[in-house]
Structures are given as structure tokens and as C-alpha cells.
Amino acid sequence: MKPAHIVVAAIAVGAGILAAMLAGSGSREPAVVEVAAPPPAPPSAEVLIAVGSIPVGGTINAGNVDWRKWPADAIGPYFVQRSVRPQAREELTGSIVRSAVSVGEPINSARIITGTRSGYMAAILPTGRRAFTVAIEKSDAGVAGFVLPNDRVDVLLTKRDRSGGQETFVTDTVLTNIRVLAIEQNVQEREGEKVLTGRTATLELDPRQTETMALSKQLGEISLALRSLADGPASQGDGGETADIQQRGGSMTIIRYGVTVQVPLAGK
């Protein structure tokens, strides 16, 4: 056989094989890909959620809470559920929170006070503690703008001292590291600028400190000194320190850290 005939025959055989392969691939059915079904959604229920931050003593309103879905197995016993209290959003409007609530946090019915604000202070006071309100002197108006609830302050007593033949003023620290429960603040305009000032502060005291404060108010002027966060309860003790004040005749005895100081009373 001539070489030309061999080449033609080889081409024909190759074309036949290629045609057979193409025909076979065209008739083959496409492979079926199975897609796994998505897992079922876990059961959930609608609970009342904070959609805006609510500070300590803040009130609940329609703008800072709303209903949101929450996993059923993560719902606590004090969560407010829509299936149980469908009108809770309206019913709790005006209620006061005992502790701060962050955005996205469920409303806890055990941490809110319904009704008027009059019961708020008694509700947040720890057992055995007292709330005592003092007037902030004009000289303290500047620092009052920086004192906020849960800050720590020292309480200073300033009185007249007429010993030695001339009148002077004496200042003593009677209470230290005292927690501020609340402060009444006002916005005033001074020299064209709005300034935050305070008129009264409510302090958390124990019964003995309450007696000290009541006597100090009669002896002179009360001032507050704001403490650093670094000097908080972790380093100084949560209950604060007290200077023991006793009144005898025309003088006042201050016992602080074991040191006794005798100070004449104002006007004596």
C-alpha cells in the first residue's frame, strides 16, 4: 500500500473515533448534584429589647425598647416575652431601670421599677445603707458639673474658728470615699455659654455616717471633693471612711484615723 493511502486511512480512522466520542458524550445524562436542605431554624420568641442605651435611673419609653426575636433556649425567667405580656411595651413606659441597660440587651423585669420615681432611691439602696441629700455650696458649682451618679467623693466641713483672738476658717475631711447616688443638675447660661451646675447631691451612707453628716450640716458648710477613679472602692473600701464627730459644750471633737482634734464651734 502506498504511503498516501496509509495516511488517508489513518485520518479516516481518527475521524471516526472522534465522531464516536462526541456522539457518546452528547447522549450522556448530566450528573445530578444533591443540595443539602438548610437546617431548621431554632425555636425563638419575641422579647423586649433595648434599642437605645438606658442609664441608671433612666426611664423606658417607646423610643428605646422594641420587640425582637430571641432564641427560646436562651430566654431567662425575667425576660419580658410578647406572648406573655403583649402590651408590655406600653405598660412599662415610664418605668425606671435600676441598672444600666445596653443596646441589644433584653429588658429584665427584676431590674426595673414600675410606677413613680419616688420609690427609685429606696429600691437601689443596698441593705443597711442610707440616702442622705446635701446642698452643694456655690463654691462647689463647678465641680458639681462633673460629679455623676456612682462617682466617689470626699465630704469636707468648713467652719469658723475664733480661737487665738481672731476669726479664721478651718476645713476638715469628715467622710471619704463616699458613693454619689444622684445629683440634681441644671443647665445655666454664663457669659453666653451653657454651663452644667448642681444644687444638691444624694450620698450613700451607713447609719453612723448619716449622723456625722447631720451634725456637720449644723456646724458649718459642706463641700464635696471628687475622687479619682483609681481611688475607688477597690483600694479604699466600699463603705468609705468616717471621721468621728462629737459635740461637747462649746467645742467639737473630731477623731479621724486615731487622731483627736478639738475645734471650737462657730459663734462660741
Clarify whether residues 131 and 225 are in a common domain.
yes
Clarify whether residues 106 and 179 are in a common domain.
no
> Residue 178's pLDDT is what?
92
**Residue 66, SS3?**
strand
* Highest mean pLDDT out of 202-211, 233-242, 255-264: 202-211
The angle at the Cα of 70, spanning 64 to 72, to the nearest 5 degrees, equals: 145
Query: Which residue has cell 451634725?
Result: 215
What's the CATH number where 59 sits? 3.90.1210.10
Residue 37, domain member (yes or no): no
pLDDT in tens, 28-73: 566 677 777 788 878 989 999 999 988 877 889 988 999 999 999 9
Does residue 180 carry a pLDDT above 70? Answer: yes
> Residue 28's pLDDT is what?
56
Clarify whether residues 115 and 195 are in a common domain.
no
Residue 23, domain member (yes or no): no
Number of separate domains in the chain: 2
H or E segment and range at residue 19: helix 3-27
* Residue that is last in its domain, among 122, 148, 178: 122
pLDDT in tens, 118-162: 566 776 777 889 989 888 755 454 455 677 778 899 998 888 877
Burial 33-52 (b: 16+ CB within 10 A, else e): eeeeeeeeeeeebebbbbee
Domain that holds residue 152: 125-264
